[in-house]
Structures are given as C-alpha cells and as structure tokens.
Structure 1
C-alpha cells in the first residue's frame, strides 16, 4: 500500500483527485490533504507519506518554494498543474512526472505505476535537484538530463552529450571524456524532449549535438564526423534541414 498526501489549494481538485485514486489506484491510500505549502510541511513531517501529489501553483508560495524548504525528501512526487508551459520540459529532463489538469484517469494510473517503481530506486532528491537546476537555467546547453537505466538514473550535463545512438532496443549516450551510458529510454523519446536548438536527429539511429560536428562530407545524404571520431551517415531526407542549421542552403 502506498500512503499518499495531496497538496492543492482548491478543495474541488482535492475531491476529484481523491475520487480518481479510489477508482483507478486501489493500492494508494490518501492519508492527508493540504491546501497550501504552509499546511503541507507539518503534515509531511507527521504522516511521512510515500507519495505526494503536489500542485505547482499555490497562493503564498509554489511547489518549488515548498521543496526548497524541506529538501532532502524521502517520498516520491507527482506534480499537478493547469499550465502547459515551457517549464514542463524540465520535468521530462529530470524524469519526474507531472499531470495536467483536468487529470485523466489513464494518465493518473500510469504516473502512479511509475512512481511505485521510482520508490524502489530512491533517486528523488537527485531528480528534484536536477529539476530545480534546470528551471533556473533557461539556456538549454546548461541544463541536465536524467538517463534511465536498469539500475535507476544517471544525471548528465546536456552540453556534455555528443550523441544518442539507438542500438538493440536501448539508447547509447556518448559524452565527452569518452564516457558512454546505456539508457532504457528509446531514441524517439529523447527526440521528443531534447532541445531542438542543440540536438538534431540526423538518422533513424542517431541524434547528434550540433556543437560536436567536426566535418561534413558531401554525398547523397552525406556523412559527418563527430568530435568522438564517430562517422555517421546523414539520412537523405534530413540533409537539407541539417545543412540549414549551419546556414548552408
């Protein structure tokens, strides 16, 4: 059984979420509710929840203000928000879950399943630090990303990643210093969340960091050399867009 606390300043939302949890997540027991960061802090201390559903925008301090005051934490978090803003990409970088209001039952069930898995790995404080770091660093090159693997998560500076390579159902992440990480996340998933000003999917099996391209050799699609000496074919359909990134038309 997962003991959960809900933090939301709107009583209607508290009732709706509690009802959805009762219908779709019978292994989640709501042990408390709070309507502000101030009332949440003593409840967290006394109830010691396994999971907190945390509304991002609240009067008199948002979710991040609350976390700044109580970190490190020993519970998982699912964030809830009504705002689909650029900030939400930071959640994906840190491998933390968020739900958009109105909350759907299917998305809630999926988020709880993932939270249950994360409880085993206890990476939450590193994930929160990555989230807060990224929110305060709007320049994508300065941000960090969490790389899920079979043991948990590895946190890597975005600017240090040279390329993502799809191989056998996994993604190999090559970074500076001749480091390589194996991630259980598919390369297509990375394509969806990576900043497009920094990364480009040059081939079905490769996403590259444009800052690490060393040479381009002409051809039907062409071939590039990366700073780690990798030689990568440019897909014909992506050639024009790739060259445009460097102002070549």
Structure 2
C-alpha cells in the first residue's frame, strides 16, 4: 500500500479528496490530514508518507515553503490548487502532477498511478543497491549495509547497528564503536533493508537491533531501554510483536 497525506487549508477539500481517493484509488491509505503548512510539516515528519497531496496557497506558508523546510524531499508530490500560474515552479520541485480544482476523477487516477510507479521504482532501486553488494559476500560472511556519506558510502555491519531513528526526514544510524551516521533517505526506506531477525521497528521514529535491548518498561506501549542508555517509546501497535520476539506474552 502507498501511504499518503493530504494538506489543504480548506478541510472541505481534504474531505472530498479523501472520499475520491478511497473510492477510486484503493492502493492508497490516508495516514493523516493537515490544513496549513506548519501542521503539514509535523504531519509529514511523523507519518513519513510515500505521497503528499499538497495545496499551494495556504496560510502560514505556501506548499513550496513547506517543501523548503523538509529538504531533502523523500516523498512524491501531487500539487492540487485552484490557480494555474504555478506550473513552472511545480516542475522545479519535480511534482508528479499538477491538478486544478475541482479535481477530475480521471486526472486524479492517472496521477496516482504515475506516483505508484515512481514510488515502486525508488524502493526497488534501494533494495537492488544493497542486494548487489551483499551478493558479492560469501553466504557465511557478515552482511553489511551501505550508508551514503559525503565522500561515497560507508559499509556498516548489520550486527553493529544499535538503532536507527527518524529525525527531520533523515535516517540517523547509531552504530557500535562509531559516530552516528545521517542518511538523506528516510527510515521507511531502510525498514525494507533491515529485515533480519535482529531488527524490529518499534515506532514510526525507531528501528532497533533487539540484541542491544537492556530493559523493557511496561506501559500502554511501553518503553525500551537500550544498552547505550537511550530510552525509546514503543508504539502500542508494535508492542505485541516486540513481546513475541523475546518469547513473551504481552504484559497486562
């Protein structure tokens, strides 16, 4: 499924668009809505969507201001606006489409289909980059993850990754015996690469190596204390899987 958010200063427009997407674009799940650029930034940082439907003219900053605050942009964009004088700037931001209100159902379906293809291609390319590296290693060798740096790539052993956190749209890796490494890719792109039994996503903002878990503190979702002293929140929906990883029943 493609995770999407809607950002428009008129709640009525968001409601209508949501209904259209639910009926005609079943490959999407709507993760949230916002009605201004400030709330939109927070929504995107919290949900890390694949696709953003973005109004341009909004109070407290335009859609372009929102994108400037989130650089580098790790999601696809479909601009939706009542004005037709933004096309050149929209192209500059590599928007998949530029839809005028009222939105045509046919144009909306076509735009979503194009977005889906681009999202799929990006995810596949990320997986292939890592696959090609790991295929060069003997089966018994420790697998590594290639993390982009200013000079090229840093190859990190999976067993040395303590945790990965989402911060302002970036993925920040905390690694045993090394300084933390910040990647311009978002945490969702790495979730598909960190599928080994040792890793678990416990929250929208955190993937952990369960080998470095020191304590679990009970609560609605609970808190995880890592060996490096960091305490991390566990999302309620992730609690049961976390308990299962350690062969425990979910605490009451």
**TM-score category of the 2 structures, normalised to the smaller one:** 0.3 to 0.5
For normalisation by structure 1, the TM-score amounts to: 0.46
